[in-house]
Amino acid sequence: MKKPFLSVALIARVVFTLIVVAIAAFVLWRLVGYYMFAPWTRDGRVGSHVIEVAPDVSGLIVDVRVADNQAVAKGQVLFVIDSARFELARNQAQATIAQRKATLDEARREYARNRGLGDLVAREVLEESQTRVDTAAAALQDAQVALGVAQLNLERATIKSPVDGYLSDRAPRVGEFAAAGRPVLAVVDANAFHVDGYFEETKLRGIHVGQKVLINVMGEDKPLRGHVQSIVAAIEDRDRASSSNLLPNVNPAFSWVRLAQRIPVRVMLDEVPPDFRLIAGRTATVSIETPPPTLGLHARQPASGASGVPDASSASAPAATSDTSASTPAAQPASGSTK
């Protein structure tokens, strides 16, 4: 009796091998698609608005009411500048106002007396009396402005926090001289935390404003969720410089492999756990969760080409495009409208 040409064991071995190869090919295909084309990046940074607090007046710091890295509330006093000079200026302005009020009252009494005499006083004398009243009134107004400036300087000697946030790691010290307009400390805005994801330019087609984003901050177990707020409109061209004759000077590139440039994408946070420690500058992995809309992929680009002539496909069926746009998911915002 002849043995079968292909035994059952051999067939099973071949089928098993083909299944393993197919699974390996599928996994490889998914890995290549994820790492090469999926909209995600490990180059993300937690950021916030850092406000440099600078006094509006100059003077010695006589009182510091905060410490390094302290949480502060909006309007909380940070430090106080010596106000003796500003108090003297205010007192001087008040004395000047009292003096000029007396001068104005005297000028008004003189004008009223000359006016009451009627024809017994020459018109020129009456006009001079009126001029002295106007001059005294203007001088009084000038003194009131000086008092307002002195009062403002006195108030500005007390430096307060402009926002709710956290101080930098260097609070001022008593005895230091604070110059007007020169930053003394920095406050990190607690209500402006966001994430900047730097995506490769080859992955921008899958990123659109409003899409849901998953953020994994390095060292944290709980992920954060947010949405794409904006995509930067320009980045610096480091290969181009200005020449003396106003012509573009482009550096030649000799490398065989051109690295994709990084495009900043601003992500706003939607959900932050109460025990999550947000620190500006931390590293994060940013992944786009929701798929891009089917239509309107290039909403920021004009419908026509660079020459201004519309494409043939868009010119041939404008009605079909307008009909389908109303029924497709692209007509709805990519993210929740409540954000």
For 131-159, what is the mean pLDDT?
94
Asked if residue 268 belongs to a domain, the reply is no
Contact 128, 27 (CB under 8 A): no
CATH of the domain at 121: 1.10.287
In a domain? residue 98: yes
Is 324 domain-assigned? no
**Assessment of whether the complete model's pTM goes beyond 0.85:** no
- Asked if residue 34 belongs to a domain, the reply is no
Domain of 143, in residue numbers:
83-156
> CA 109, CA 334: separation in Å to the nearest integer?
76
245: in domain: no
What is the chain's mean pLDDT, rounded?
A: 82
SS3 243: coil
Q: How far apart are CA 66 and CA 336, in angstroms?
A: 40
Q: Phi and psi at residue 277, in whole multiples of 5°?
A: -95, 105
pLDDT computed for residue 95 by the predictor:
96
Residue 136 maps to a domain? yes
The verdict on residue 6 lying in a domain is no
pLDDT tens, 154-202?
Answer: 999 999 999 999 998 888 999 999 999 999 999 999 999 999 999 988 8
Tell me whether residue 70 is in a domain: no
Number of domains the chain is built from: 1
Q: What is the pLDDT of residue 126?
A: 75
What is residue 145's predicted lDDT score, i.e. its pLDDT? 96
Q: Would you give the end-to-end CA distance of the chain in angstroms?
A: 78
258 vs 261: which has the higher pLDDT: 261
